[in-house]
Structure 1
């Protein structure tokens, strides 16, 4: 009896999936927006798609793992956004495993492009050319060479006027990424940081790899302007926040999403802005798979609603870090990270539509 019931449910699922595919193929705004080769592809678009724009039909549980099923390539021609992984966890102070973060986020992302975005009903890739650039390579046996390797990896992308979205890796990776972006867009960048920790703790060893001190150095070196920077979700103590404004988790919980967004926008203004999202900004109930979880954080819903309202900011780069799949459950942390990155890409898509050009980021100093 149990087997019969299972078979009946399985048959219903197959019929529903087939009907859904049929409706998509008949729709004037189906998942296949481009004529020619791409419109006929079924599966593995990451290496079979012949251009960075457009979507292809995929099985969420099968095929090549690229972020959001985008082309897995190092060809930056006609590309708006490159997504890259930085699989580092040498700078952790508690639980390791963030070296598996990029792979985990990619795997969780495979279900997201199957349908148009909610609530807008937008196919992100009709208008925004996104690729998966693969991972930054470095020699883990030579840790002092890693920061420069990450910085150079970022530069080879952003120097081509391609927007960079990086997947960590522990939070230290933001430091060489900020160096690369400051070289392109000038120092005194605004930092928008979602985090449980301020990461401005002083460290006497300037060459150390530590995921709790990199913004201390970033402010001190002038990479970041503390007077136009803000941290959201903080719930750990520090004697000195280096002049960066803090909206701690208790404040966010006590105010509306719109009030939180207004504080962010008012602090940053139109300054070139780097967004870093440490997944431990979320409460462990929503993101258990991270290296240093802290109770009392934001919900995934809160974070998504805040990010959705940040479209007026002058973003020049983004990373999402500290996802540790070995400590995750049912991939909910990886899925949260992938979803937040997807929401950010929707912001970039909307900015491109409004500006009629890309890149639309701050003027380069080069």
Structure 2
């Protein structure tokens, strides 16, 4: 059971020296299980895990259908379908033998006051990184990536971004809290090394002139396939520290209907898993999976896709350790 169910709050996994905004009780944070049944953690200093899973039940920055606040719960629940396998195909080892992972529950904040989410989430991720661990985070809408990147850039400097999405999220308009403007602000704030970053699966309009990222649009990926996509990613990222942000609407709605802004003609889950699996060898330092909205899902296939992508990423980290 999660430590949050035992009365813990985000403050329990946040450095005592860090000022954390007041938070309501986690209305959407209660959960009956951890991701992949990994151990729950409420304090980091005594935790031997190398990767810390967190949920962010926030969807106040959506421009389409709300409901991604239930994404962390949905992904954790769907992960039960993956636990039994032991050594996940096609890997030849059990993850637990080579990588220690723990689940810190959900970040809390005052509902209706988005700035408390921004403050708490950045502090939460900073504490994970300061403890020498990396973060795997489940949204929530895509806005959550902005405070996460702030924490990462504070620790590592500008990071290479590997971004899967139907949308570039580089739009300069919108409100202060907007899931469509996050990478505009990330570039403006110097959080991302754009010369070593890519956006993959894009299939909505954006301004081509002076666009800060290289784009491998969905048609390109679907025509040329995972191998060509990986070749370009590795050429672009090189040896830079890389952060992966996976908006589940990067997948075609046939594979991920449970999201707020679905767009047809996306990439398949098979393609996405092959690309994530092929990131082995890159200097990966963190990942988020966002925009899973279980209310629009069917038979948990979107939540299962999110859980499987996250698990595949963890196997890549384990394989990197073994190399």
> TM (normalized to structure 1)?
0.77
Q: Is the 8 A contact 1:261 1:306 kept in 2?
A: yes
Deviations along 1:179-200, one digit per CA (max 9) or x if unpaired, are 00001111x2111000000000
1:55-204 → structure 2 map (5 Å cutoff): 64-76=32-44, 77-115=47-85, 116-186=87-157, 188-203=158-173
Matched, 1:268 2:241: no
Matched, 1:290 2:259: yes
The verdict on how the C-alpha distance between 1:204 and 1:75 changes in structure 2, with shifts beyond 3 A counting, is closer
Could you list the runs of 5+ residues in structure 1 that have no partner in the other structure?
1-43, 48-62, 355-366
Q: Which residue of 1 aligns with 2:314?
A: 345
Give the whole-Å Cα distance in 2 for the aligned partners of 1:45 and 1:203: 38
Q: Which of 228, 240, 257 is residue 259 of structure 1 equivalent to?
A: 228
* Greater C-alpha Rg: 1
Q: Which of 331, 334, 341 is residue 300 of structure 2 equivalent to?
A: 331
1:207-356 → structure 2 map (5 Å cutoff): 208-240=176-208, 242-354=211-323
Give, in angstroms, the shift of residue 140 of structure 1.
1.3
Give, in angstroms, the shift of residue 203 of structure 1.
2.3
SS of 2:252 mapped into structure 1: coil
Question: What is the root-mean-square deviation of aligned Cα atoms in Å?
Answer: 1.7
Give the whole-Å Cα distance in 1 for the aligned partners of 2:2 and 2:266: 37
Deviations along 1:298-344, one digit per CA (max 9) or x if unpaired, are 01001001111001111111100000000000000000000000000
Give, in angstroms, the shift of residue 225 of structure 1.
1.5
Q: Which residue of 1 aligns with 2:11?
A: none
The verdict on how the C-alpha distance between 1:308 and 1:243 changes in structure 2, with shifts beyond 3 A counting, is same
Matched positions, count: 293
The verdict on how the C-alpha distance between 1:226 and 1:124 changes in structure 2, with shifts beyond 3 A counting, is same
Q: Is the 8 A contact 1:219 1:242 kept in 2?
A: no
Q: Which residue of 2 aligns with 1:8?
A: none
Give the whole-Å Cα distance in 2 for the aligned partners of 1:164 and 1:204: 28
